Each structure stands twice: as structure tokens, then as C-alpha cells.
């Protein structure tokens, strides 16, 4: 006898269809799972057996073979427990259902039959919609995020017995469909509370705050250079508090990535990620990978901030690994003939001292590094990496009067209002393109910006020659200038916008320090 139900496997952040096929025959009682399962899938035999018995059903004393098709893709995770249990009960004629063919199932079973949350449910729901399924039975803990995908009816489930009552017709499946009980849905989706920090905590550093506001408004990468204790880390940690709220689509994107993480708790990610890995991180930890590829820090920072503090301490090979992700905003990982693509559209913030002692160029303390030391320090940062950082600013130490000043600075909520207004302009500008921010603008759009201002067109060649800017460097300056113009509410890029953007590109003289 043969029976089959549909479930899913995760390849990167994407889901593929997996048929849970069960064959029941006479012979010595056995329970075998094939189809390239990992250890957690193989162990489902004992979980399924106990869950069926503790739910009041009989486990058939026959030869049972479960095949997870396609067999050429490794299956991992415990979310096949529920479809395996239902298939065994169906093939042994203990349950019957008319909705098996139009339904999909995922869920890890406890020994008493309760259903535990699983990861990657949003990707699975998207695939189920693509397959034309009507119902999707998911663990109750992840029903909220699953319901964000339209086109399918999500049925939250707490136990195997509850699922059986629905599929067998004891309960109407349409009456069990998940309904959002939170009346204030917009507030729930776009809540950004919980960071616990504010820009008003930072004293002084008005130029740095202005630069970070511009960087956030256009999602530009930025480097902060300054002596120890200047406030670089403090500023970076508060950047997420002025970023615009996440849209529903962005929350889904982020949750799909975080749902692959072993510490995922099943909830919807509603805040901008802020990731700050230590410089001892491995290549797999930063970029992603492994035998079964998982997202790294650059993907966990998607739609948020990746902050690399003490940038000079990161190994050069890790720094160079950022080149392609910064350019493509996506990283592709190939392992054992398995191809995975992870999104990594993040804002990069790096902070570093100007030299080994940290006081090069400081007004109050003399640098003790030799010229050779400074040269060696800056050679760790290659030209291609620095070229991909749009803004580079100095963060000097506070003066005495700034440090003792008790006047609070501008609050994050006030800065955020300006940022939201600026990003709204960009959304309208790029509504016909698959981008949202000025930093993502293509060459066609940039050429249009140049053609709109005769003065800008005249000065660009001279600027490129004087400051020895590469093509990518000039493009970065124009993108930042466009963001400054948007903040000022100007339709076209004016000369003073370009000069401010150029200042953020040339304030630190790398050539002088690394020669």
C-alpha cells in the first residue's frame, strides 16, 4: 500500500516541494526513512511512533518505508514529523480525509503528540501558494508570520490529534483558519521600540551626526575614523533608531533569513537588524556557508546595519570577502553541488582608529607611531574596499566644554522624521525600478542626474582629476549628493550638494597615510 503527502525542504532561504511517500507491507515489523535524511530526520521514527500511540491511535506492526522525494537533496530538520505521522495513519486506514490533496503539512512532534515550531515557514508558505494548495497546517507558534503570505488558508495546530480532527472532517477547516486578533496591526508590524538607545545620548559630534543622517537616508556605506573614546561605537549603535520602519515585505524577507538560524524563536522580525560581529569571526560566520549552507552576518544584517568595529583588526581576507556582497547585495554559496543564494542588502558601518596608537591627527595627544607604522596600518585596507565605502568621516575627540555640556542633543525620533521624508522621495523616484534607495541607483539614473544640472556636468571632470577618484568613487559622490539634495527638498543636485558629498569622500587622505 502506498500513500503520499506534500511537505517542504529548505535550500538556503528558499523552499522546494518534498513528497512524503509511505509504503506499508507485510513482513518483519520495521520503520525505515530513506531519501537522504540527516540525523534529526532519522530520529523522527521514535518521535512519530510515540506521538501516534500517545494520541490514542495504533502504530501498525508492519514493514514501513518512508521516502522523502526527491532523494538527491539532503533533508534536515524535524518538520517532517507531522506529514509522516499523518501518512502512516492514513495508509493504515485509521483516518480518512478529503483535503489531503489540497493541503500541506509541517511540524515537529513531541512524544505526547504536541506540535513544536519549525523554521523557514514563510518560504514554505510561499512555495505552497505557488503549488496551488488551499490549506497549510503549521505549528500555532508560527501561524502569525505564515499568515502574512496571501493566497492560502493557514491552519494553526497545537497537536497531532487536533490536526486529525480537522482533516477527518470533525471540524470545518475553514472555521479553523488563522485570524489576526491584534486590532492594531499597523502598530504591531511597524513597531521599532526596544533598542534602548537614542541619538540625544551623544554629546557634540554634530558633523558625524549629520553624516550618519545622510548615510541612513540613502543607505550609503560609511567609515568613521577617530581616536579611542571619540564615540564611534556609540554613534553606530544608534543608527538603527533613525532608520525608517520596515514594510511588511521587508519583515518577511528578514524573517525568512532568521528562521534558518538555530536560535530562531519562531516570532516575526519587526525591527531593523543591527549586527556587530567580533573581529575573530570566521569566514563562514561572516559570509555564510557550511556543509548545509546557512546565512552569515552579512545576510543577518539584511535591511539593517552591519557594524564592524575596530575594522583594522579584521583579517584582510575577510575584509576582501565583502567586495562582491557590497556590490551585488546578494551572496551565492556553493557546497557539495548545492547552490544557495542569500540576500545581503545592508548598510555597512565601519569604525577604526587612524593608526596603531590611535592618535594620528589628534589635536590634544601626539601620535607615537612611525611613518612606517602608519603606512603598514592603512595597507590592510585595499583600494577596492575603500572604493565601496561611500562616505568617510573623521570623528574627533570631544572638547572639554562639549563633554561637560548637559544640554541634550536632538532625539532620534526627530531625525527619523527627516529620514522617512527623504526615503519617501526615493520610493517615488524608483517606483518603476526594483530598488528603494539612492545607493542602489543604476548608471542610467545617475547619467540623468548629471544631465539635469549643467554646472555639475562642467565640474565633474575637474573633480575626478584633482582628487584622483575612480569611476565607482565618482558614482558614490553623486549618489550621496542626490541624497543630500533629497534631504534639502531640492529637485536637482546643486553644486553645494556635490561639494558636501565630495567632502565626505576626501576628508581622510588615505594616499598620504599609506604612501
Do 240 and 162 sit in the same domain of this protein? no
- CATH value at residue 463: 3.40.50.300
Picking from 111, 188, 118, the residue whose alpha carbon sits closest to that of residue 156 is: 118
Q: What is the dihedral of CA 424, 429, 435, 439, to 10 degrees?
A: -80
CA torsion 286-288-291-293 (nearest 10°) is 160
Q: Quote the crossing angle between the two packed helices 81-91 and 160-167, to the nearest 10°.
A: 50
Clarify whether residues 104 and 204 are in a common domain.
no
Buried b (16+ CB within 10 A) or exposed e, 10-47: bbbbbbebbebbbbbeeeeeebebebebeebbeebbeb
Query: d(Cα 83, Cα 454) in Å, to the nearest integer?
Result: 66
Compute the distance between CA of residue 385 and CA of residue 510 in angstroms, rounded to an integer.
12
> Is residue 282 included in any domain, yes or no?
yes
Q: How far is CA 191 from CA 82, 213, 235, 268, 345, in A?
A: 34, 20, 22, 11, 21
- What does the pLDDT read at residue 265? 67
Digit-by-digit pLDDT tens for the chain (515 residues) are 899 999 999 888 889 999 999 999 998 999 999 998 888 888 899 999 999 999 999 999 999 999 999 988 888 888 899 999 999 999 999 999 999 999 999 999 999 999 998 888 899 999 999 999 999 999 998 898 888 889 999 999 999 999 999 999 999 999 999 986 554 444 444 444 557 889 988 888 889 999 999 999 999 999 999 999 889 999 999 999 999 999 888 988 998 898 887 667 667 788 899 999 999 999 999 999 887 788 999 999 999 999 999 999 999 999 999 999 999 999 998 876 678 889 999 999 999 999 999 998 888 889 999 988 888 888 888 888 999 999 999 999 887 666 666 677 889 999 999 999 999 999 999 988 888 999 999 999 999 999 888 888 889 889 988 888 888 999 999 999 999 999 999 999 999 999 999 999 887 765 555 44
Domain range for 104 is: 2-175
Strand stretches in 161-216, DSSP E: none
Residues 470 and 323 in one domain: yes
Residues 348 and 492 occupy one common structural domain: yes
Q: What are the φ and ψ backbone dihedral angles of 482, each rounded to 5 degrees?
A: -65, -40
Residue 278 covered by a domain: yes
Is residue 193, in this structure, part of any structural domain at all?
A: no
Looking at the structure of the chain, the number of domains it has is 2
Please identify, among 134, 159, 175, the residue that sits at the C-terminal boundary of a domain. Answer: 175
Task: Tell me the pairing of strands 338-343 and 330-335.
Answer: antiparallel
- C-alpha angle 218/197/210, rounded to 5°? 35
H/E stretch holding 23 reads: strand 14-25
- Are residues 335 and 389 located together in one domain of the fold? yes
Half-sphere exposure at residue 507, Cβ-oriented, CA atoms within 13 angstroms: 23
Within 13 Å and on the Cβ side, how many CA atoms surround 377? 22
**Residues for the chain: how many in total?**
515
Q: Are 352 and 358 in contact (CB under 8 A)?
A: no
Cell of 221: 556605506
The verdict on residue 189 lying in a domain is: no
Q: Fill in the DSSP letter of residue 183.
A: S
Q: Does 262 lie in the same domain as 114? A: no
| Sign of the dihedral through C-alpha 332, 334, 335, 340 | positive
pLDDT given for residue 466 in this prediction = 87
Residue 64 included in any domain = yes
Instruction: Please report the pLDDT score of residue 171 as a whole number.
Output: 93
C-alpha to C-alpha distance for 97 and 166, rounded to whole angstroms: 9
User: Quick check: is 190 in a domain?
Assistant: no
Residues linked to residue 464 through DSSP beta bridges, in sequence order: none
Residues 10 and 107 in one domain: yes
Q: Among 6, 11, 5, which Cα is nearest to 73's?
A: 11
In this structure, is residue 182 part of a structural domain?
A: no
**Structure confidence at residue 194 (pLDDT):** 57
What is the phi/psi pair of residue 31, to 5°?
Answer: -140, 110
**Residue 192 domain-assigned (yes or no):** no
**Same domain, yes or no: 167 and 291:** no
pLDDT at residue 188, as a whole number: 44
What CA–CA distance (Å, rounded) separates 173 from 133? 14
337 and 253 within one domain: yes
Amino acid at each position: 500500500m502506498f500513500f503520499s503527502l506534500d511537505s517542504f525542504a529548505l535550500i538556503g532561504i528558499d523552499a522546494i516541494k518534498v513528497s512524503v511517500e509511505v509504503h506499508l507491507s507485510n513482513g518483519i515489523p520495521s520503520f525505515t526513512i530513506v531519501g537522504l535524511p540527516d540525523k534529526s530526520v532519522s530520529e523522527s521514527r521514535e518521535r512519530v511512533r510515540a506521538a501516534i500511540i500517545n494520541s490514542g491511535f495504533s502504530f501498525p506492526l508492519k514493514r514501513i518505508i518512508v521516502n522523502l522525494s526527491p532523494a538527491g537533496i539532503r533533508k534536515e530538520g524535524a518538520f517532517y514529523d507531522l506529514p509522516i505521522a499523518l501518512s502512516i495513519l492514513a495508509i493504515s486506514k485509521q483516518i480518512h480525509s478529503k483535503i489531503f490533496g489540497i493541503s500541506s503539512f509541517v511540524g515537529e512532534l513531541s512524544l505526547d503528540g504536541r506540535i513544536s515550531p519549525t523554521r523557514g515557514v514563510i518560504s514554505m508558505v510561499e512555495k505552497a501558494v505557488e503549488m496551488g494548495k488551499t490549506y497549510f497546517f503549521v505549528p500555532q507558534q508560527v501561524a502569525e508570520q505564515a499568515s502574512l503570505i496571501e493566497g492560502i488558508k493557514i491552519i494553526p495546530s497545537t497537536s497531532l490529534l487536533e490536526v486529525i480532527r480537522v482533516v477527518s472532517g470533525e471540524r470545518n477547516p475553514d472555521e479553523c483558519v488563522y485570524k489576526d486578533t491584534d486590532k492594531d496591526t499597523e502598530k504591531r508590524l511597524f513597531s521599532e521600540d526596544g533598542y534602548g538607545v537614542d541619538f540625544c545620548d551623544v554629546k557634540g559630534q554634530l558633523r558625524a551626526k549629520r553624516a550618519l543622517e545622510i548615510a541612513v537616508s540613502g543607505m550609503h556605506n560609511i567609515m568613521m575614523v577617530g581616536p579611542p573614546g571619540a564615540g564611534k561605537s556609540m554613534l553606530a549603535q544608534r543608527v538603527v533608531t533613525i532608520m525608517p520602519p520596515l514594510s511588511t515585505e521587508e519583515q518577511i524577507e528578514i524573517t525568512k533569513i532568521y528562521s534558518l538560524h538555530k536560535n530562531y524563536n519562531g516570532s516575526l522580525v519587526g525591527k531593523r537588524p543591527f549586527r556587530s560581529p567580533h573581529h575573530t569571526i570566521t569566514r563562514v560566520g561572516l559570509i555564510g556557508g557550511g556543509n548545509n549552507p546557512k546565512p552569515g552576518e552579512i545576510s543577518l544584517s539584511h535591511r539593517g546595519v552591519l557594524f564592524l568595529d575596530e575594522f583594522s583588526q579584521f583579517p584582510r581576507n575577510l575584509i576582501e570577502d565583502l567586495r562582491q556582497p557590497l556590490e551585488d547585495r546578494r551572496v551565492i554559496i556553493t557546497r557539495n553541488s548545492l547552490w544557495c543564494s542569500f540576500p545581503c542588502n545592508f548598510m555597512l558601518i565601519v569604525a577604526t582608529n587612524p593608526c596603531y596608537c590611535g592618535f594620528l591627527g589628534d589635536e590634544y595627544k601626539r601620535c607615537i607611531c612611525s611613518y612606517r607604522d602608519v603606512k603598514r596600518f592603512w595597507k590592510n585596507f585595499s583600494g577596492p574596499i575603500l572604493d565601496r565605502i561611500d562616505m568617510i568621516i573623521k570623528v574627533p575627540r570631544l572638547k572639554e566644554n562639549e563633554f561637560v555640556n548637559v544640554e541634550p542633543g536632538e532625539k532620534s525620533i526627530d531625525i527619523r522624521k527627516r529620514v522617512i521624508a527623504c526615503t519617501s522621495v526615493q520610493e517615488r523616484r524608483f517606483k518603476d525600478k526594483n530598488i528603494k534607495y539612492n545607493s542602489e541607483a543604476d548608471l542610467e539614473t545617475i547619467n540623468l542626474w548629471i544631465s539635469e544640472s549643467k554646472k555639475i556636468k562642467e565640474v565633474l571632470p575637474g573633480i575626478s582629476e584633482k582628487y584622483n577618484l575612480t569611476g565607482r568613487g565618482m558614482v558614490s559622490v553623486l549618489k550621496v549628493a542626490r541624497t543630500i539634495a533629497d534631504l534639502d527638498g531640492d529637485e536637482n543636485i546643486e553644486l553645494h550638494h556635490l561639494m558636501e558629498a565630495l567632502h565626505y569622500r576626501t576628508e581622510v587622505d588615505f594616499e598620504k597615510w599609506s604612501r
